[in-house]
Structure 1
C-alpha cells in the first residue's frame, strides 16, 4: 500500500525553535491525526522549522494543515518573535546562500510567527529514488524522534554539543560515519574549523574526550537490544546503510548519504555551523587518537 504524501509546513519564528518544536510536535502526535514526521531547521526566508508530516489512517492532508496552523499560532501567541530585522536577514542570506552555493534564495524575510505550506520536493539527486528514498525518509523520521528526545530535556549549549558528538562517535565506531572526512560540500566547515583553532581547544579537553570516545565505541559494539537514544541512532544508521546497499546504491553515494545524516542530526539538535564544525573535527580525530593512546600502554 502506497504511503500518503507528506504535508510540508514551514513554521517561521524569530525565537526559541527548540520550544516551538517540542510544543507543536507533542501536540501533533497527541492529536492522533499524524503518522510519520520529520523536521529540519532552515534559514531561507527567515529562521524556521520545516515539518514534514504524513496523515495517520483516517486523517487527511487538510486535517493536518488545520492542526499545524492551530498549534503553530497558539505557540506564537504565547511566545511572540523578536522583531525582524530586514537588513540582518539580507546579510545572513547572502552569507549562507554563498556558503551553500545556492543560485537563488528568498530575497525578503517571510513574516515571523506564520505557518506557510510549501510542496515537499524529495532530493532524488542526492538520495536516489524508490527503495533508497524510502530508507532515507524512514531514517529522517527516526533521527527526528531521537533529536526531539534530546531537545525535550532543554539542553544548554555544552550538553547539546556533547550529545551531537556522542552520536557522531557512535557512527564512527560502527563504521557508518565519516567524522571530519566530509564530502566537498562541507569544505566550508573544515575551513571554519581551522580558523577557530580547534586543535588547541581539543588539547585542553583531550582526556575527557577520549574517555567519551571509549564509551561511545562500547555503545556501537554493544548488544542489539540496548535501549536509549544512542543505541537507537546506531540501529537507525546501520539499518539505513544496509537498506541503501540492498537498493543498489554505490559505495560513494552511501558514504555521502550517511555523512549527510550526521550533518542533519546536528541541524535537528540546533547546533550552529561553528559548533558543528568543532563536533565534526572531534569525531574525525578522536578514534585515531584513542587507538594511538591505547597502543602506547
Structure 2
C-alpha cells in the first residue's frame, strides 16, 4: 500500500484526503454513515488516485490484502446486510473499476526529490544513532500491535484518524512521496526480528521530520492531542517495561532534540 501511495499523484492524494475529511464531518446516525454527496466525492477521489497508478501496482495491493484475508470474510460481511443490496453495490463497483482502468496511467512518475545537507537530516542522524539500540530491543513480532486500544471506541478513533488525514492533506507533496519511498525501502531491509537497517532507519526519520516540518505546528498538535485521547496511560508504561529503560530514555532524549530541530524548521 505504501508503494502504491508513493506512486500516486500527490495532488490527487491531497484531494482524496480532503474528501475523506469532509466525509467524516458529515457522519451521522447510529451506523456512522456519511452523507450521499460526500460518499460520491470520496469514491470519485479514490478512483482518480487509483487511475494515477499503474495497474500492476494496484493489483499488488489487491493480492497482498487477499493473502492476509480469510476466505470466509466476504461471505460473513455479506450476511450482515441485505444480500440484494450487497450484490447491487458490487456490480456498481465492477462498472466503476472498468472506467478507472480505462483512464489508468501506464508508467510510474519520477521519484521524489530528497533534500540533502539540511538541519533535519543532520538531526535525524543524531536521533537514529541515539535510538537504534532501543529500536533493536523492541519485540516487533509481538501480536500486541494487532490488539485494540483499551477503553476506546470507534467514533473516538475515527476522530483521531481524521486529524491525521487533515495533517496529511497539508503536507508537501514531494516530501510526502519521499517519505513513502523511504518507508518502502526500509521495509525491504527488515531482518528476521522485524528491524530495518540503521541507514534506512535514519532515512525514515529524516523523511518524517521533513513532512512534519511542512505542516503548521497547530495541525501537528491536533494529531498529538487526538492520539492522547485514545491511548490509555497504561500503554506507554507497558511498552516501556519490555525494553532496557536506559536505552529507552536515551531514545526519548534524542527524539526531543530532534523535535526541536523540526519545530525550528516548521512553516
TM range (shorter): 0.3 to 0.5
Point out the structure with max Rg over C-alpha.
2
TM norm structure 1: 0.34
Question: Which protein, 1 or 2, shows the higher relative CO under an 8 Å CA cutoff with sep ≥ 6?
Answer: 2
Between structures 1 and 2, the one with greater helix share: 2
